Amino acid sequence: MAEETIFSKIIRREIPADVVYQDELVTAFRDISPKAPTHVLIVPNVLIPTANDVLEAHEHALGRMFTVAAKIARAEGIAEDGYRLIVNCNKHGGQEVYHIHMHLLGGEPLGPMLSN
């Protein structure tokens, strides 16, 4: 069993966060160190440590992450100009919290995906 993360506590509302969306499958909240004018994290309510740990049983929650991202992008006024969705996996992928999560970033031109 994976260890509980800070995201688990945010999902249960045990610690404060600026939650912008929550349902039975996912929770979305603003990143405390935003990298763009809009930077929201979307997480499944069930703890899945990394993309390597995804099972068929998780497909509904992971699909919901995308529909919620689109809903939040519209609400934030960034859908038309565009936004970026990022899921990091493990150390080399830049993952810092081992509870799979999607970054929704937008509100300004984001530039190239990777720079050398």
Query: Distance between CA atoms of 71 and 116, rounded to whole angstroms?
Result: 33
Count of C-beta atoms within a 10 Å radius of residue 105: 20
Q: Which of 39, 60, 101, 103 is the catalytic position?
A: 101
| The two three-digit tokens of residue 39, written as one number | 């930077």
Beta strands in the chain, from DSSP E residues, in sequence order: 19-22, 26-30, 38-44, 83-86, 102-106
| The two three-digit tokens of residue 75, written as one number | 């609400």
101 is catalytic: yes
Q: Which ranges of the chain would DSSP assign to H, the alpha helix?
A: 6-11, 59-76, 90-93
Q: Which among 103, 5, 93, 104 has a CA at the least distance from the CA of 52? A: 93
What are the catalytic residues?
A: 101
